[in-house]
Structure 1
Amino acid sequence: MLRFNVSVHARPRSLHLGPIVDNRGLRLQTLAVSPMALGEPMGVSFEAVQSHLNDLPRMYFEPDGSFVWVGEAGDLKSWQVDGIVYDRNGSLHSVEMKGQCPEQAFDMLLTAFGWPETDFIFQLADEALFIDEGEFRRFTKIR
């Protein structure tokens, strides 16, 4: 199970390693990302994301881009992800998501956003840090 409060962005072309930061008992390799570098298109359209997400069971997607996805009743651990997708110039720009879900469900969300063809970086909202996918998965696993 992953727990997160994150913004997802396409990996910018100009990206540098940031400092290693201690957070929640983990040493995280951060990324130094200029705000001007954010905004690379994620490789899929808003409409494609909407279609993909609408196909997921127990997904509620609004035309404004907000969504709620809940686990199946009877799951050993209940879960829910709330989010919103943003587009710009015909392509997905970024996604904000908060909640918790199994890693397989998280991968289904990322697939809707263009992964694995598009590499992502993750901005931890509470910590105000950018990290890559490997660090994100390590950080968000519920202990």
Structure 2
Amino acid sequence: MAVAVLLAFHVNVYQLPESAVAGPIRPLRGAERRTMTGPNGGPPLFLATMPATFDQMQLRLAELPQCDCEPDGFFLLTGRTSDGYFWRLSGHMQEYLPEESATPRMHRVELNGECPAGFLDMVLRTMGWPDATLAFELVQEGVTLGEDDFRRYAASAEAV
């Protein structure tokens, strides 16, 4: 029986800022990963919002299988892989009201746990992905990655 591949991570997910640029390459989980920075070399400025509102995202999450979504924005997805391994992915939604908007939008979603890639994709779709380009800030490591580098990082052998 094949062992299911799980992605493991603790990230804050943001809308990718237009001002983000390629940053230094850093060793993360045994491999070189390209980070992202702001235009002056510091962290990216996460001022942009995602296309989804809090209520839209919450309604979309509630439609996912095995998802419990609380009114305060906390949610939990759980399941078992084909080989019986229990996985869980928890998240917390944060909204923001940009000056140019009359409607608050999703600013950041914290995601923590491990899950199959398909379930991560389901959660990202609730935020507006793949139309929205996202950035992934690694909470423990304090660096930001683009989607491709984040997925390789999350799937790396040293992840779990």
TM-score range for the pair, normalised by the shorter chain length:
over 0.9
Is the deviation greater in 26-35 or in 43-52?
Answer: 26-35
User: 1:49-92, CA deviations, whole angstroms, 9 ceiling, x for partnerless residues?
Assistant: 01000011211111110111111487622110111001112111
SS in 1 for 2:86: coil
2:111 is aligned to 97
**Cα distance in 1, alignment partners of residues 152 and 144 from structure 2:** 14
**Cα distance in 1, alignment partners of residues 44 and 9 from structure 2:** 25
Percent of aligned pairs with the same amino acid = 33
**Cα distance in 2, alignment partners of residues 75 and 82 from structure 1:** 21
**Closer/same/farther in 2, CA of residues 28 and 36 from structure 1, 3 Å limit:** closer
2:23 is aligned to 18
Tell me the TM-score normalised to structure 1 length.
0.94
- Out of 48, 69, 93, the residue aligned to residue 85 of structure 1 is 93
**Cα distance in 1, alignment partners of residues 22 and 59 from structure 2:** 35
- Out of 34, 45, 56, the residue aligned to residue 48 of structure 1 is 56
Alignment length, in residue pairs?
A: 143
The Cα shift of 1:142 comes to 4.6
Paired residues of 2:37 and 2:44 also in contact (CA < 8 A): no
- Is residue 144 of structure 2 the alignment partner of residue 130 of structure 1? yes
Q: Which consecutive aligned stretches of 4+ in structure 1 deviate over 4 angstroms post-superposition?
A: 72-75
Q: Which runs of 5+ in 1 are unaligned?
A: none
**Cα distance in 2, alignment partners of residues 136 and 24 from structure 1:** 11
**Closer/same/farther in 2, CA of residues 41 and 140 from structure 1, 3 Å limit:** same
Paired residues of 1:10 and 1:40 also in contact (CA < 8 A): yes
Q: What RMSD over aligned residues (CA atoms) do the two structures have, in Å? A: 1.6
**Closer/same/farther in 2, CA of residues 72 and 36 from structure 1, 3 Å limit:** closer
**Cα distance in 2, alignment partners of residues 135 and 123 from structure 1:** 11
**Cα distance in 1, alignment partners of residues 156 and 43 from structure 2:** 30
Greater Cα radius of gyration, structure 1 or 2: 2
